[in-house]
Amino acid sequence: MQRIFHSSPVVVAFALFGFPAVAQESSAKPGGPDVSFALGIFGGGHIFADGTNLGVASAPEASAGARSNGALGLRASLGVGPWLAAEAEVLGMLTTDRTYGRGAGILGYRLNALAFLRQGDVRPFVLLGAGPMQVATTKAEGKAGLVRDVEGEFHVGVGLCYQIVDILALRADVRAVQMPSNFTAPSHSLMHALAREQPYRAHLERVLRPAPVLDPDDYYALLAPRFESIDIWSTEYLQVLRGENPVADWTRATWLGGLLEALPQALRAPFEAEYRRRVLDAYPKSADGRTLFSFKRLFIVATAA
């Protein structure tokens, strides 16, 4: 059976395999839970979906994103009792951008929590975690290629751990990674609408990109010919923010900041002031002075017999 996990707009899926581990067990106190420590290496594939923003500059010559490639990493795991574990991972991969073919080195740093579903030599588990991904090195010329960048991500996954002997285990898991998919929300649509107005349009029209997320119907049409079972759903998370204009402050660190960089110095302040005014109207404060900011995610699980 083959399983594909998809979360929009950026998919980073792992197939981690060949995991040797050296473990040493100890007990914190007599009668207390067993504590185990393991070190290991892992390798697999790292798949970037179309529309990934990692390393993509806000400029007309910007790359279309990173190419999928193999990845290697190190993992340290701390088990508390037979059912739970916490992990720290460092992952590295060499890749190129999709437009120019210029090389880049990407690092990922993650903290994971695992829950094992059964005990024995073969132990299935579920996993969730989070951490930043970083374009650490690049051969980009200016903004033509992958630029140095850091983005956070959240991931979930399932897997199996096979205990070969007491100090050696083999593990395989697959993960789905999600990043924000808020491109039709007022926080983003107002920004793009303003960018298409004069005098900003002449400077920003070539920088603007369509939302890198399809509608659920489009994903179904793409997957239906290849997969027997398809589950599609969306989830909306509500952020409770503080501040005078917290949504504008939030977007300034991402999309808004990129647009401001593409504008001449004389147009940056008026563009930001008008955007902040429009966003404040779209996200008024609640009675307690806080601002509610929703995030929508799209999830797809496709299974082929």
Q: Contact, 175 vs 288, CB < 8 A?
A: no
- pLDDT digit string, tens, across residues 108-132: 999 999 999 999 889 899 988 888 8
pLDDT level of residue 47 (50, 70, 90 thresholds):
confident
List Cα–Cα distances, 126 to 71, 78, 96, in angstroms.
21, 16, 32
Q: What is the pTM of this model?
A: 0.56
% of the chain surpassing 70 pLDDT: 78
List Cα–Cα distances, 11 to 107, 163, 264, 265, 269, in angstroms.
16, 30, 34, 35, 35
The amino acid that residue 25 corresponds to is E
Gap between the Cα atoms of 79 and 39, Å rounded: 11
More confident residue, 225 or 21: 225
pLDDT level of residue 49 (50, 70, 90 thresholds):
low
3-state secondary structure of 12: strand
**Could you give all domains of the chain from N- to C-terminal order, each with its CATH number?**
2-178 (2.40.160.20), 186-304 (3.40.50.150)
- pLDDT digit string, tens, across residues 154-169: 788 888 888 887 777 7
- pLDDT digit string, tens, across residues 259-278: 888 899 999 999 999 999 99
Gap between the Cα atoms of 22 and 41, Å rounded: 10
Q: What is the chain's mean pLDDT, rounded?
A: 79
